[in-house]
Structure 1
Amino acid sequence: METIADRLRDARTSRKLRQGDLADAAGVTAAAISALEKGLTKSPTPETLFPLARRLGVSPEWLITGKGEREAGTSQPVARFETTKGYLRFQVMGEGGAGPGMINADRPEVLQEIDVAEWSVRSALGRTVSPDRVKLLTVRGNSMAPRIKDGDVVFVDIQDTAIMDGGIFVFVMHGQAIVKRLDIRSDGFHIVSLAEPGNPDVIDPDHFDSVHIAGRVLGTIQLRNANEVAYS
């Protein structure tokens, strides 16, 4: 089966499910499932893909790429020091706030490492990235909603700390790590919450050296499936 449309339709019919059953599982319309099966929609979003795979009992990797094991949960465990083929090993840093800041050092500490499927990284960012410079950070709070929600995991490029208007960064201010957007305005630097864009924290350019930029946020990912992530 060469396309995701073929695999989705085959997996659904083999389970004797209706398009409406998949729609209910993924929180979308039956028309959206029909569009996927007809190839009108080329690829589901991660938010749709993982519920579909769970309902169908198949691996998300197989469903989206046609590679790997079809059935969910059939991959073999590996030793802690090994990285499974097709996965990237990322360091997970301490939590960052999108709301009240989380207390951290100048750069959130590394708590653990996890292996994330390369296809999942490409789906989230449109490309693969180097774990040497990109780390993961769990966001707490909803001040960056709807773009970043409480519990989302963000990719943070710790080598990209150059000031950029409109960029979303991990800032460390007075020992607190926060995820916010940076807007450059005539009266200074605005640290903006997307949920309350009209109420930024304004920092005078002369005092911006008190703010440490730990890295730029590249995108978000939801790590909700054993075929997507393996803890090491």
Structure 2
Amino acid sequence: MEMGERIKERRLAMNFTQEELAQKLGLQKSAIAKYENGRVENIKRSVISKMADILECTPSYLMGWESISNEEIGGTFQENIQKLLPKKHGVLIKVLGRVAAGIPIEAVEDVIDNEEISEALAKTGDFFALQIHGDSMEPRMCEGDVVIVRQQNDAESGDIVIAMINGDDATCKRLRKYRDGIELISNNPAYKPMFFSNEDIINKPVKIIGKVVELRGKF
């Protein structure tokens, strides 16, 4: 039995509504609903302890620690809670330190880490992650941040894209489309927009290799 099911079981046994239990804990009713539905990422030790007193049981019972083997118990309080929460399934993608021209994404060997994306997102295309270098996209994107990128060779005006210019390493910029060409725009006003005519796009060349769909800031 999951922690949320145990909370609901004891609440019903004590004949409390979700609202009544929330009031006793000094929480919103929605918090109790989240606990019981297993949608809680973090829960304070003090909340578990107080809830156990109100529901006339032990914190260990609510958390289901008797269902965890002795070998598994011994981590931090939050780590032990995580063992009782429903497991989330995701898809691992490579985090690349750089993307060089002429090398297919799947062949890039400069892999520095992995990131997880949801199965739902993974079904919408092929993805890779790229570590941001430099300050051209500050303050929104900083050195060391990671962007999740869907591989595609075009994007809409206003999208943030990963582009290749002059066969150099990939760069992250905001795309602006015009009838006679495109602009690649930095967030940092210290960097001027780069305009490329339709002829430049073909001859340099300028190639879009993906659209940024998510930013994951790193400390």
Normalising by structure 1, we get a TM-score of: 0.52
Q: Could you say which structure has the larger radius of gyration?
A: 2
Alignment-mate amino acid for residue 112 of structure 1: V
Among 211, 216, 219, the residue aligned to 2:214: 219
Note if 1:137 corresponds to 2:130. yes
Name the counterpart of 2:156.
Answer: 164
CA RMSD of aligned residues (A): 3.9
Alignment-mate amino acid for residue 111 of structure 2: Q
Q: Which residues of 2 match residues 1-232 of structure 1 at below 5 A?
A: 1=4, 3=34, 8-13=42-47, 58-59=78-79, 62=82, 66-68=85-87, 86-95=89-98, 104-107=100-103, 109-112=108-111, 116-117=115-116, 121-122=117-118, 127-130=120-123, 133-158=126-151, 160-174=152-166, 175-185=168-178, 188-196=181-189, 199-209=192-202, 210-222=205-217
Aligned residue pairs: how many? 154
Q: What's the % identity of the aligned pairs? A: 20
Rate the CA distance shift 1:211–1:170 in 2: closer, same or farther, 3 A.
same
Find runs of 4+ consecutive structure 1 residues off by over 3 angstroms: 4-16, 112-117
Name the counterpart of 1:26.
Answer: none
Q: CA deviation at 1:7?
A: 6.6
Alignment-mate amino acid for residue 3 of structure 1: K
Alignment-mate amino acid for residue 171 of structure 1: A
* Structure whose residues are more often helix by fraction: 2
Contact 1:165/1:183, CA 8 A, preserved across alignment? yes
Rate the CA distance shift 1:136–1:88 in 2: closer, same or farther, 3 A.
same
The whole-number CA distance in structure 2 between the counterparts of 1:133 and 1:169 is 15
Q: Secondary structure at the match of 2:200?
A: helix
Q: CA deviation at 1:9?
A: 4.8
Name the counterpart of 2:65.
Answer: none
Name the counterpart of 2:12.
Answer: none
Alignment-mate amino acid for residue 212 of structure 1: K
Alignment-mate amino acid for residue 95 of structure 1: R
Rate the CA distance shift 1:216–1:9 in 2: closer, same or farther, 3 A.
closer
**Structure 1, residues 63-109: CA drift from partner, whole Å, max 9, x if none?**
9x9424xxxxxxxxxxxxxxxx823121232326xxxxxxx224562
Contact 2:160/2:211, CA 8 A, preserved across alignment? yes
For structure 1, the 5+ residue unaligned runs are 17-55, 69-84, 97-103, 225-232
* Structure whose residues are more often strand by fraction: 1
Contact 1:93/1:111, CA 8 A, preserved across alignment? yes
